[in-house]
């Protein structure tokens, strides 16, 4: 009988508010001991039940939430929040990458050209050569900045696919270099967290089972995973169903799991890999940017320059019409009135200010993240003490 079918029959026959033995489930449902046990383990896995051992050595199956799943609402909320935040972060990263090409490079070139042109314009405003204009050199400088931003040989280029080897410039180092846009991305949004492997815990437990010649205890599982008993029991019940294992009571009165089929291997003579104890893997807070100090100074300097230059444009009321008139040597009395420049003032000012707020906010959260990492390391140290003391006690009794 399939485990799911046995679980449905056991679920309909037993009272989840009371502890159940395999014999209780078999008598109530009319199933064989094997099917009743498989059904109970399926229910433990689905409803996050627990296994307990009585003083007589009997295994009890308990269901604290009965046959309900109150965690589904919380998990669904977390999943929804994760998807929303992932979409926002993805859109934000896309905007930042576009901002790198447009603002951190092009706007810097525009503002530099603007300041240089204004300086020359003021120094030569008494000149009679009114036919001369700075608009041409300015637009040429902006065009060159945009061209080299998108050119494949530019260090700022964001390529979609890999270019042929013969078209690539000579590499400066043997190791792969982080693209400029990726360093900017980390400066504003922080380093990308490594994706959690959903099968990492499962592989660690299976490796521990094989290293233990098909047998593993709860203490061994806690040692390599660091998980609580509430999470281990449902996981081990799922493994029992997937790998044909069985549960038994050890000589010390604890629960142990045996997986005979997992002992078979073709790798004779090779040492079996075992996961390191959880307390040997230190939890560390993520870095603020993950860049070097020089890279942070360079990227922050570009953004600061845009912030100051856009502030100057806003303070002087330099609209596009007013700037063009200044380049054309229009007398001061005939210049257009000062105004608010959107393209050269408001947009770069607001974005540069907002982008500075991101790394500053993460830096302010760093002590809190460090505290959480320290608490997790403390929990792992306590777990080490408990498991090691229990192991020494068993050794002394033997």
What is the distance between the alpha carbons of residues 393 and 376, in angstroms, rounded to a whole number?
A: 26
- Residue 41's pLDDT is 92
Threshold 0.75, pTM exceeds: no
Percent of the chain with pLDDT over 70: 80
- Residue 63's pLDDT is 92
The mean predicted confidence, pLDDT, of the chain is 79
Dihedral sign, CA of 249, 386, 280, 190? positive
pLDDT over 60 at 37, yes or no: yes
What is the distance between the alpha carbons of residues 328 and 121, in angstroms, rounded to a whole number?
A: 9
Please calculate the CA angle 78-62-200 and round it to the nearest 5 degrees.
45
pLDDT over 80 at 92, yes or no: no
Q: What average pLDDT score do residues 130-152 get? A: 51
* DSSP class per residue in 302-338: HHHHHHHHHHHHHHHT--HHHHHHHHTT--GGGSPPP
Residues 70 and 36 sit within 8 Å (Cβ to Cβ): no
pLDDT tens digits, residue range 317-349? Answer: 888 888 888 777 777 777 788 888 888 889 889
What is the distance between the alpha carbons of residues 211 and 213, in angstroms, rounded to a whole number?
A: 5
- Residue 145's pLDDT is 53
Go through 137-171 and write b for each residue having 16 or more CB atoms within 10 A of its CB, e for each that does not. ebeebbeebbeebeeeeeebbeeeeeeeeeeeeee
- Residue 184's pLDDT is 82
Please calculate the CA angle 118-121-127 and round it to the nearest 5 degrees.
175
pLDDT tens digits, residue range 223-255? Answer: 999 888 888 889 899 898 888 888 888 777 778
Angle between helix axes 293-316 and 108-123 (nearest 10 degrees) is: 50
pLDDT over 60 at 395, yes or no: no
pLDDT over 70 at 221, yes or no: yes
Copy the structure tokens of residue 43: 């229910």
Reported as a pLDDT band with limits 50, 70 and 90, residue 174 is very low
Q: Which of 62-66, 115-119, 193-197, 365-369 has the lowest mean pLDDT?
A: 115-119
């Amino acid at each position: 009988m399939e485990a799911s079918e046995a679980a449905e029959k056991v679920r309909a026959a037993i009272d989840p508010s009371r502890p159940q033995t395999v014999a209780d489930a078999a008598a109530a449902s009319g199933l064989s001991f094997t099917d009743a046990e498989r059904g109970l383990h399926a229910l433990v896995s689905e409803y996050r039940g627990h296994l307990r051992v009585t003083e007589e050595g009997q295994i009890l199956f308990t269901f604290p939430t009965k046959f309900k799943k109150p965690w589904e609402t919380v998990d669904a909320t977390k999943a929804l929040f994760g998807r929303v935040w992932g979409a926002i972060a993805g859109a934000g990263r896309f905007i930042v990458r576009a901002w790198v090409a447009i603002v951190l490079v092009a706007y810097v070139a525009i503002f530099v050209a603007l300041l240089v042109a204004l300086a020359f314009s003021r120094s030569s405003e008494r000149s009679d050569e009114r036919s001369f204009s700075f608009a041409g050199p300015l637009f040429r400088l902006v065009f060159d900045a945009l061209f080299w931003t998108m050119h494949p040989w530019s260090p700022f280029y964001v390529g979609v696919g890999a270019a042929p080897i013969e078209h690539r410039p000579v590499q400066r180092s043997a190791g792969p270099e982080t693209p400029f846009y990726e360093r900017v991305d980390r400066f504003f949004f922080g380093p990308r967290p490594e994706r959690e492997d959903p099968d990492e815990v499962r592989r660690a437990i299976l490796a521990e089972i094989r290293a233990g010649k098909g047998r593993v205890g709860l203490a061994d599982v806690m040692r390599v995973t660091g998980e609580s008993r509430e999470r281990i029991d449902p996981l081990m019940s799922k493994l029992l169903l997937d790998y044909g294992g069985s549960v038994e009571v050890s000589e010390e009165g604890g629960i142990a799991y045996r997986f005979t089929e997992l002992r078979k291997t073709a790798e004779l003579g090779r040492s079996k890999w075992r996961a390191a104890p959880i307390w040997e893997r230190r939890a560390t807070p993520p870095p603020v940017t993950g860049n070097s100090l020089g890279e942070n100074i360079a990227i922050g300097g570009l953004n600061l320059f845009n912030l100051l230059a856009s502030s100057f444009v806003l303070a002087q009321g330099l609209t596009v019409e007013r700037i063009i008139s200044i380049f054309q040597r229009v007398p001061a009395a005939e210049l257009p009135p000062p105004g608010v420049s959107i393209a050269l003032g408001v947009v770069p000012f607001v974005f540069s200010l907002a982008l500075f707020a991101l790394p500053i906010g993460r830096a302010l959260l760093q002590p809190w993240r460090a505290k959480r990492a320290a608490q997790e390391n403390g929990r792992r140290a306590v777990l080490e003490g408990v498991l090691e003391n229990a192991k020494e006690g068993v050794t002394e009794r033997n």
